[in-house]
Structure 1
Amino acid sequence: MTSLLKSAPPLAHDRVVLDYDQRLMRRKLLTTQGGRAFLVDLPSVTNLDNYWGFLVDGLNIEIVPAPEAVLVITGDLTRLAWHIGNRHTLCQILPDRLVIREDHVLERMLTGLGATIRRESLPFKPEGGAYGHGRTMGHSHGDDPDGARFGWHHHGDGQMHFHASKGAT
């Protein structure tokens, strides 16, 4: 049996290293650094950034964010953050820098706006959504099992969005 742990127990028996995308899951077979394999089978898709780790057969398995190729951005952070957000790009916001996934198009744009950029390999933990906790990507359409409803509609973000139903041409 596998369950999620919100806070750190006194002892970690092993750890699993996951990148940002891998830390969003519902059902997946994971392998720890020590070679233990275990199945995660959660009731719904879950953002693991909100948890310390797993309890697996009495063992505490820590979730560790994996280093990823990122751009560390300094400069006029307010202006640069606006331009990053205007491109709907995930962004980690820190007091003295912004961090985004490596992207040569955005790197060129930000450099043109006066940003100083360093390439690094760091754990990526972008800002969550404004209307709740968790991830900013994706959205639900209520009882629509495929997540694809036809027509224009709002998602509560002040923007209109269009979705074509499956099979629409």
Structure 2
Amino acid sequence: MPPLVSQHIHPAGTWRGDHDSVSLSYDARFLRRRMLTTTKGTRFLADLAQTTSLDHGDAFELQGGTLVEVVAAREDLIEITGPDLMRIAWHIGNRHTPCQIEPGRLLIQRDHVMQDMLGRLGTITRHVSEPFAPEGGAYGHGRTHGHDHTASHGHSHTHEHEHEHEHEH
């Protein structure tokens, strides 16, 4: 029997009714095509038209109309508190690190390089395990992509080039 397939997402707040759920980490909520298993054990293929950033509360619609709610999974995070969180948020953003911004605290994915930097900036950090729902990207893509501090693979990702733009005024 072929697996169930979902090719449609209902945004959070636009659907209601009986549903199953699937718990996904922040990274796993960025997908186009992937086999998933719900909390009730149903396997289905998410086969979306394009790579999509899913939010907590969105729902996959399976063929036949069954809904599967996306639940943000608990993740290992760093909670950041202390004075001048606005300045700290700037440093985190300057490194293109996904950050959940809340009153009185910031949350980022665990990263020893970031934790060391934050300590040198005078913050208070502690490890927590919570769902992670960082701010979306500034250009409407719904996602930022952090810098990887773990490995180099021998080539540059810069795309610099010179060109001119002509403008009529």
Give structure 1 stretches of 5+ with no counterpart. Answer: 139-147, 155-169
Q: Is the 8 A contact 1:31 1:37 kept in 2?
A: yes
* Cα shift at 1:51: 6.0
Render the CA deviation track for 1:126-164: whole Å, top value 9, x for unaligned.
1111121411229xxxxxxxxx9984159xxxxxxxxxx
User: What residue is the counterpart of 2:151 in the other structure?
Assistant: none
Matches within 5 A, 1:1-169: 1-2=5-6, 3-6=8-11, 7=13, 9-49=15-55, 52-56=58-62, 57-75=64-82, 76-137=84-145, 151-153=159-161
Query: What is the aligned-residue RMSD (CA, Å)?
Result: 2.4
Say if 1:12 and 1:62, in contact at 8 Å, map to a contact too.
no
Deviation at 1:93, TM superposition (A): 1.2
Match in the other structure for 1:145: none
Aligned length: 145
Q: Which residue of 2 aligns with 1:157?
A: none
Q: Which ranges of 4 or more aligned residues in structure 1 deviate by more than 4 Å?
A: 148-151
Distance 2:159 2:20 in 1: 48
82 and 149 in structure 1: CA distance in 2 versus 1, 3 angstrom threshold: closer
One-letter identity of the residue aligned with 1:4: I
The 2-side partners of 1:119 and 1:5 are apart by 33
> Given the two structures, how large is their TM-score scaled by the length of structure 2?
0.77
Relative to structure 1, the CA distance from residue 68 to residue 149 in structure 2 (aligned partners, 3 Å threshold; closer, same or farther) is closer
- Please give the secondary structure, in 2, of the residue aligned with 1:152: coil
C-alpha contact 1:4 1:51 (8 A) present in aligned 2: no
Whether the 8 Å CA contact 1:5–1:52 is kept in 2: the answer is yes
What residue number does 2:150 align with?
none
Gaps of 5+ in 2: 147-155, 163-169
Task: Output the amino acid matched with 1:47.
Answer: S
Q: Give the whole-Å Cα distance in 2 for the aligned partners of 1:151 and 1:91.
A: 26
